[in-house]
């Protein structure tokens, strides 16, 4: 079974509104979490991360929230822009530096 | 378990050597992707195969090569290894050429001494 899950394969949002991408995990021993963004025909690029000891990390328009009790993290993009249209992967890292990826969510920002 | 298997899990070798990493995609998936995850570079896309044919190439060095076999498993060959090649190598698979959903394997940790 997947240790990191992104249950929504796709999401459409109007330009200027908030995009919320969700990720669930099963292993409570993950040390930190990452979000990657992927454009077509390119590899994923790192976006933002959060340590398991924090519940929020913000970088410009991107904020990641971590709810450890629910084993859930989310990426908020505010305001959403058409250039944000991409596939977003969440990933989780153990103390032994093992990395587990979700299956991705395609975000479409409609102008 | 994503259904994607990679072997070996760990590999320790010396500079100048050659290694082969193996990936078996999920049943039914025709597309295989290889990625390199290193501390300083993050996740780098190397190459994609679809049904035995190369479909997309990323930041793959000339010392590296890959192939996908008729049974759809894939191998990544790394030769003339350098210290900087030490990284986690991930394989992912998807159903078709451009499916966004990719299932990642557990990775192979390569250490070059």
DSSP output for chain A: --SEE---SEEEEETTS-EEEEEEE--TT--EEEEEEE-TTS--EEEEEEETT-SEEEETTEEEEEETTTTEEEEEESS--GGG-EEEEEEEE-TT--EEE---EEEEEE-
Question: Contact, A29 vs A40, CB < 8 A?
Answer: no
Q: If we measure between CA atoms, which residue out of B63, B59, B112, B104 comes closest to residue B87?
A: B112
Nearest to A36 among B43, B98, B106 (CB): B43
- Checking if the pLDDT of A44 tops 90, the result is no
- Residue B34, token pair as written in the block: 């290889």
Instruction: Note whether A109 and A15 are within 8 A (CB).
Output: yes
Contacts of B10 in chain A (CB under 8 A): none
How many Cα neighbours within 13 Å face the side chain of A61? 12
pLDDT tens digits along B32-80: 999 998 766 667 888 989 999 998 888 789 999 999 999 999 999 999 9
Of the candidates A93, A102, A98, A79, which has an alpha carbon nearest to the alpha carbon of residue A9?
Answer: A102
Task: Give yes or no for residue B101 having a pLDDT over 80.
Answer: no
Q: How many residues does chain B have?
A: 113
Count the Cβ atoms, other than its own, within 10 Å of residue B21: 23
pLDDT band at B10 (very low <50, low <70, confident <90, very high): very high
Residues of B in contact with A104 (CB under 8 A): 100-102
| pLDDT > 90? residue A38 | no
Interface test with A, best of B43, B87, B107 (most A CBs within 10 A): B43
State pLDDT tens for residues A22-37. Answer: 999 998 889 889 899 9
B98 has a chain A CB within 8 A of its CB: yes
No. of H helices and E strands in chain B?
Answer: 0, 11
**pLDDT above 70: percentage of residues in chain A:** 95
């Amino acid at each position: 079974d997947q240790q990191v899950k992104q249950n929504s394969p796709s999401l459409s949002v109007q330009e200027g509104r908030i995009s919320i991408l969700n990720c669930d995990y099963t292993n409570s021993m993950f040390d930190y979490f990452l979000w990657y963004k992927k454009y077509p025909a390119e590899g994923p690029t790192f976006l933002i991360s959060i340590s398991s000891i924090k519940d929020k990390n913000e970088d410009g328009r991107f904020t990641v929230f971590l709810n450890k009790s629910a084993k859930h993290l989310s990426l908020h993009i505010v305001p959403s822009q058409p250039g944000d249209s991409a596939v977003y992967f969440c990933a989780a890292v153990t103390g032994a530096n093992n990395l587990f990826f979700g299956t991705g969510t395609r975000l479409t920002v409609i102008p | 378990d994503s259904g994607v298997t990679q072997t070996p899990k760990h590999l320790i070798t010396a500079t100048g050597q050659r290694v082969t990493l193996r990936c078996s995609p999920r049943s039914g998936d025709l597309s295989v992707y290889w990625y390199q995850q290193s501390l300083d570079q993050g996740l780098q896309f190397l190459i994609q195969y679809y049904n035995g044919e190369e479909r997309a190439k990323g930041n793959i060095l000339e010392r590296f090569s890959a192939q996908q076999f008729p049974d759809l498993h894939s191998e990544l060959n790394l030769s003339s290894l350098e210290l900087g090649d030490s990284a986690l190598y991930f394989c992912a698979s998807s159903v078709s050429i451009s499916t966004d959903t990719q299932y990642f394997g557990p990775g192979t940790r390569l250490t070059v001494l």
